[in-house]
Amino acid sequence: MDQILIGFGMVADPVTIGVIFIGVMIGVIVGALPGLSSPMAIALLIPFTISMTPIAAIAMLAALYCAGTFGGSITAILINAPGAPPAAATALDGYPMAKRGEAGRALGLATISSVTGGLISLLILLFAAPLLARIAITFTSAEYFALALFALSMLASISGKSSIRNLIAGFVGVFLSTIGIHLTTGVERFTFGVNELYDGIPFVPVLIGLFAIAELLKQSRAADQVYERIRANVMKLPSKEDFKRVKYTILRSSGLGTFIGILPAEGATVAAIMGYNEARRWSDRKDEFGTGIPEGIAGPEAANNAAAGGAMVPTLALGIPGSVSTALILGAMVMHGLKPGPFLLENQPQFLYAIFAAMLIANLAFLFIGIVGAKAFSQLTLIPRTILWPSVLVFSIIGSYAAASSFFDVWVMAIAGIVGYFMLRFGFGPAPLIMGMVLGPIVEENFSKAMIVHDNSILSMMERPLVLLFFAFTLLSLAGPARNAIRARRDRKRLLATEEGE
């Protein structure tokens, strides 16, 4: 109890609460603007947190993460253009409801569902993270290697057009993480005599390039795109009847979203899709989904915000990111001198409670901001891209330079942006690459240590039960997309045979 009070006290000062509210505002605004995303905003904001205390910096980024997930529902409902990928499922029923003249009701359902899902996941975070950390503190390097390898295999199911492209991008990220001097052997790798690469490719400029500059270049191809806009003059809280209809949907989706968030490398997008599918599966009005019903909004919104809290569990307890945004937060923690993992929670448990308090305040804050500021946020969609994207470019350059006061980092950002643009064009999501860069050092470092301990014998390493279990999970994770592809090919052949028979 004392540690909980200390943790809450760490965020109770006016400065930290102030930056949490700033993070919430930025998150909602970024989420509400089509084309922008929480990972992009976190990447741009990390350099500006250098002068903050570690608690204030991570609290601000965590608040932005929570609010950004919710903010995407605003444009999903009002203009059928999800401001963030997790809100894509919300648009399926949110936009039809708005077209019927019930935009305020749809926003109210999205807000209450998001806040409820977020609060439930935070309660699970409060109990699950310390428990997981106590288990993980018994892990050796062999278990950590197997766990990180399992996390890499999970990249097959995140953003991008195909599992193969995701895995390729992920392993490119792992390769990029090997650039620099190997800490165990001292061998210099792939630096080509460039002094700035001795410590590896700078992480923050790569983040900014892949998420901000690549998206800027992509959006420049759609500068003249016009959305049909629906204004929301006021947010309408769900009625008693709405609560009765969606209460079990919210509870189911919150639990499902938290579980998906805890899985390494998964995130809010997968949770939202599964939340929508489960809401439809359990509904007695399946045929009405897609026409604008409350369950179609509550399911994905509760799930995607619950995944935000769930994703912090492996990030804090294991040092293994649960999503792309938490991978960026993990990088920010390392930049501030913190090493996420079981020893952090064992030696500084108050840090967990401080992050819990920050995310709790963030959820309550965007509830208030969402109710009061519905009309203002509906106007965000009117901001011209000719103003929005040049501003993003300026912040990208400033942020890349500010991280280490180096023009080399600005060049890294520009190159990463161009590479990211072509990745997007050819269906390679930037998210797996970033996850590969984060997980790469964990895989390599723990594999090197495990080989030393087990006398360079992989068979000796596999005598440990948890190592075998994680390897089995890895094989199942890789087999899933292959099985789905075979099933889809079989269904297409069956459909063609049926059409030819007719």
CA 334, 214, 265, 471 torsion-angle sign: negative
Residue 273 corresponds to which tokens in the numbers above? 């899709």
Cβ atoms of residues 214 and 225 within 8 Å: no
pLDDT for 235: 58
Cβ atoms of residues 20 and 58 within 8 Å: no
Q: Which residue has the higher pLDDT, 500 or 312?
A: 312
Q: Which residue has the higher pLDDT, 416 or 390?
A: 416
pLDDT for 378: 58
According to DSSP, the β-strands at 188-189 and 180-181 are antiparallel
347 class by beta-carbon count within 10 Å (0-12 exposed, 13-18 middle, 19+ buried): exposed
Q: Which residue has the higher pLDDT, 259 or 32?
A: 259
pLDDT confidence bin for 450, thresholds 50/70/90 = confident
Amino acid identity for residue 461 in this structure: M
pLDDT for 82: 61
What pLDDT, in 10s, does the model give residues 26-51?
A: 888 777 776 667 777 888 888 888 88
Q: Residue 115 above 70 pLDDT?
A: yes
Torsion of the alpha carbons at 385, 391, 397 and 402, rounded to the nearest 10:
-150
- Residue 383 Rama label (left phi>0; alpha psi -120 to 50; beta): beta
Q: Residue 159 above 60 pLDDT?
A: no
In 11-137, which ranges are continuous DSSP H helix?
A: 14-32, 38-45, 54-79, 88-99, 103-136
Cβ atoms of residues 294 and 287 within 8 Å: no
Q: Residue 319 above 70 pLDDT?
A: yes
Helix (H) or strand (E) holding 181: strand 180-181
pLDDT confidence bin for 288, thresholds 50/70/90 = confident
Q: What are phi and psi of 191, to 5 degrees?
A: -90, -20
pLDDT confidence bin for 105, thresholds 50/70/90 = confident
Token pair 């997309």 is found at: 481
pLDDT for 111: 84
Distance CA 122, CA 323 (A): 16
Most confident of 171-180, 315-324, 399-408: 171-180
pLDDT confidence bin for 274, thresholds 50/70/90 = confident
Give the lowest-confidence range in 35-49, 153-167, 250-264, 470-484. 153-167
Cβ atoms of residues 75 and 258 within 8 Å: no
Length of the chain: 502
Amino acid identity for residue 2 in this structure: D
Q: Residue 421 above 70 pLDDT?
A: yes
pLDDT for 85: 65
Amino acid identity for residue 33 in this structure: L
- From the list 151, 228, 13, the residue with the least C-alpha distance to 436 is 151
Distance CA 448, CA 456 (A): 9
pLDDT for 287: 77
Cβ atoms of residues 77 and 91 within 8 Å: yes
Q: Which residue has the higher pLDDT, 358 or 386?
A: 358
What are the C-alpha distances in Å from 159 to residues 265, 300, 348?
Answer: 10, 17, 34
- From the list 58, 51, 21, the residue with the least C-alpha distance to 348 is 58
pLDDT confidence bin for 97, thresholds 50/70/90 = confident
Number of domains into which the chain is organized: 1
Q: Residue 340 above 60 pLDDT?
A: yes
What pLDDT, in 10s, does the model give residues 367-408?
A: 777 666 655 665 665 666 667 677 778 878 887 887 677 888
Cβ atoms of residues 88 and 68 within 8 Å: no
Distance CA 16, CA 365 (A): 14
Q: Which residue has the higher pLDDT, 237 or 463?
A: 463
Token pair 């390097």 is found at: 141
In the DSSP assignment, the letter for residue 84 is S
Q: Which residue has the higher pLDDT, 111 or 211?
A: 111
CA 58, 61, 65, 66 torsion-angle sign: positive
pLDDT for 474: 85
Distance CA 223, CA 130 (A): 48
pLDDT confidence bin for 185, thresholds 50/70/90 = confident
Q: Residue 425 above 60 pLDDT?
A: yes
Q: In the chain, what percentage of residues exceed pLDDT 90? A: 0
pLDDT confidence bin for 337, thresholds 50/70/90 = confident
Q: What is the span of the domain harbouring residue 159?
A: 2-501
Distance CA 388, CA 386 (A): 6
Q: Residue 315 above 80 pLDDT?
A: yes
Cβ atoms of residues 11 and 59 within 8 Å: yes
Distance CA 350, CA 130 (A): 11
Amino acid identity for residue 260 in this structure: I
